[in-house]
Structure 1
Amino acid sequence: MVQRTNSKDSIAMALFDEIIDTHISEVTITALINRSKIARRTFYNNFDNIYEVIVYLIDLIDEKLDTPNLDEGINGRAVTASDVLDYLPEHIYENRDLLRVIYTTDLRGFWFNHVMEKYEKWMIKYLFSDYRSKVITKEVACNVLLQTVIAAVDSWISKPVPDEPDQFRAVLLEILQVSPIGDLELSYEEK
């Protein structure tokens, strides 16, 4: 679970706890205030509405996954598919309980949009740089591939005892290699 460190985090985690039992449309600011044990004024000092809390919570969860900054790269070089395949399975596995909640609640759509925003430009630039199709645009191909990967993650972490990260990494690699977007040529180097 994401550790509560300040009022803003406390409010976000109150939303996380609340959404487990309540539909997002039924979550109230009063419920978040009561659950996080803060004053109403403290809520409004940090957020204007529940949507802002959702965005902040998604950012907190992404921070917990500690994913590489795709814009800055790693050690002065661009992030590659191999880097992502090396990195993500372990972090997803370590945070699977947190992600299970996302995948089984109303946060799923917000998470999907966040993942799309985070990875789409990088995927188009690095994975789809040589992609050519007369029918499917890079953006649609990227969306299809990300939806497939997100579904694979959902399937993996939903198991009572998920496979080890190395086994899932092999699944992800196969998904990328046999993608319906067949023009992708990816290589993965074992490290």
Structure 2
Amino acid sequence: MIIKNKSKRKIILSFLNLTAQQDINTISTNDIIDNANISRGTFYNHFKNKIDIIRYIEKSISTSLDEKFAEVNSEYNNFFYVLTEKVCPLIYHDREFIKILYNFYEPQLFSFLQEHYAKFLIPYFAHYDEKKYGVPKYFAMSFFFRVILDAVLSWISQPIPASPEEFKNIFYKLINTSMTEMCGIVIRQ
């Protein structure tokens, strides 16, 4: 996330620093102002409150992600390439800001991301056969999207996440291997 305005960057980085030390809900505007070593006027020239900071972070990251996902071609056959080669490095770079969004919006963030990005998975289910798998298509699509999103969020929420290149290898292994195979168990109905 690139923040060109120095005062705004100072406020956001102060907020980021505070979130590493305490729960988001306990951080006050005064805490941010004091930590950033700025005047009240400077803070209020840029933001109304901490929710406004969070919304700014959300909008900035969402815009960056949308720009990368715009590179997915109309046949969607390069979705995983764009995800692992273009989006994951961006997520890695902005990981601390994404952690703020995840911690603050956890239930809503999942829904937002699913509504916003699940469209890229629809083509992969064009030939899905509900009779063959015995699972409704909408459920299989939702499950698959959540597996992808959980993998990304699990990666980025680590204290020291693997590099995007390392994560790409982990991600492909996870996606291409069944859970029962990984665990060495057989689950029978």
TM-score (norm 1): 0.61
Task: Tell me: CA distance 1:112–1:33, structure 2 relative to 1, closer, same or farther (3 Å).
Answer: farther
Partner of residue 186, structure 1: none
Q: Which amino acid aligns with 2:99?
A: I
Q: How many residues are matched?
A: 172
Summarize the alignment of residues 1-191 of structure 1 with structure 2, pairs less than 5 Å apart: 5-6=4-5, 7-61=7-61, 67=65, 69=67, 72-73=70-71, 80-93=79-92, 95=93, 98=96, 102=99, 106-107=103-104, 109=106, 112=110, 115-124=113-122, 126-131=123-128, 133=130, 135-136=135-136, 138=138, 140-156=139-155, 158=158, 162=162, 165-178=164-177
- Report percent identity of matched pairs: 22
Aligned partners of 1:58 and 1:114 also within 8 Å: no
- The answer to which structure, 1 or 2, has the higher relative contact order (CA under 8 A, 6+ apart) is 1
Deviations 1:100-121 (A, max 9, x none): x818x83472764564454233
Deviations 1:132-152 (A, max 9, x none): 5475453x5454334323433
Question: Please, what is the CA RMSD of the aligned residues?
Answer: 4.0
Q: Find the aligned partners of 2:61 and 2:79 in 1 and give their Cα distance.
A: 22
Q: Find the aligned partners of 1:47 and 1:131 in 2 and give their Cα distance.
A: 47
Partner of residue 188, structure 1: none
Q: Which amino acid aligns with 2:17?
A: D
Q: Find the aligned partners of 1:128 and 1:70 in 2 and give their Cα distance.
A: 22
User: Larger Rg: 1 or 2?
Assistant: 2
By how many angstroms is 1:30 displaced? 1.3
Q: What's the secondary structure of 1:69's corresponding residue?
A: helix
Q: Which runs of 5+ in 2 are unaligned?
A: 180-189
By how many angstroms is 1:28 displaced? 0.9
Task: Tell me: CA distance 1:77–1:129, structure 2 relative to 1, closer, same or farther (3 Å).
Answer: closer
Q: Which amino acid aligns with 2:42?
A: T
Partner of residue 187, structure 1: none
Partner of residue 183, structure 2: none
| Structure number having the greater helix percentage | 2
Task: Tell me: CA distance 1:178–1:25, structure 2 relative to 1, closer, same or farther (3 Å).
Answer: same
Q: What's the secondary structure of 1:106's corresponding residue?
A: helix
TM-score (norm 2): 0.62
Q: Which amino acid aligns with 2:117?
A: Y
Q: Which amino acid aligns with 1:48?
A: K
Q: Find the aligned partners of 2:161 and 2:57 in 1 and give their Cα distance.
A: 26
